[in-house]
Amino acid sequence: ELKVEQNPLFLSMQEGKNYTIYCNYSTTSDRLYWYRQDPGKSLESLFVLLSNGAVKQEGRLMASLDTKARLSTLHITAAVHDLSATYFCAVDIVFGNEKLTFGTGTRLTIIP
Amino acid sequence: GAVVSQHPSRVICKSGTSVKIECRSLDFQATTMFWYRQFPKKSLMLMATSNEGSKATYEQGVEKDKFLINHASLTLSTLTVTSAHPEDSSFYICSAIPSSGVESSYEQYFGPGTRLTVT
């Protein structure tokens, strides 16, 4: 059974600081996704990582993938309040199936 | 971009009644759609895969007779919660994968979700 774990589960950080969210998964994956969810809302797609060593950046967020270590990271640079949300990683392990298994989520709170 | 809608966005129903939730892909066709549920402060759990023209595939532990899924067309899937009970109260989110020719053929596009409250 595929397991996807994130840490930390909760993260409070001050504005302007840097931090990293980790996503570990238990079996070989074809694709890894990062999503953002605001309270009461659905998911917003942030990144899709397709291969080992993939790195993608958008604004203050950067995601990377190490398929050998079965690890993805979401790095936050110089955090701002608008980044407060819950972040999920999700893994698609079966090519052609597209079923996603979601991580536990990381609730990020940026403190002014 | 690819847009997925859900209707209703919120619904309150009495225990024992049935509720239908619609998921529509607005600007693309989707052979495959997925239904998830999310409890407060928890992650998304896949309930079932909805396939146009065939029976849905349910995840282990999901009662197919309780959560009826119909993928009537390439742009519409419905989830009916039958004989709803308070423990069915949750946030239900659908997603759709473009059949072809739109964006990436593997990325799921999520609907805005439906909050179901059973009293």
Give chain B's mean pLDDT. Answer: 93
Give yes or no for a contact between A79 and A19, defined as CB atoms under 8 angstroms apart.
Answer: yes
CA distance A102 to chain B (A): 6
Following DSSP, what letter does each residue of chain B receive, concatenated? ---EEEE-SEEEE-TT--EEEEEEESSS--SEEEEEEE-TTS-EEEEEEEETTS--EEPTT--TTTEEEEEEETTEEEEEE-S--GGG-EEEEEEEE-SSSSS-SS--EE---EEEEE-
Q: Are A42 and B108 in contact (CB < 8 Å)? A: no
pLDDT tens digits for range B40-75: 999 999 999 998 888 999 999 999 999 999 998 999
Cβ-Cβ contacts under 8 Å, B111 against chain A: 42
Instruction: Indicate if the alpha-carbon torsion angle B53, B59, B65, B66 is positive or negative.
Output: negative
Query: Looking at residue A2, what is its pLDDT?
Result: 84
Residue B90's pLDDT is what? 97
Task: Tell me which residues of chain A have a pLDDT lower than 50.
Answer: none
How much is the pLDDT for A50? 87
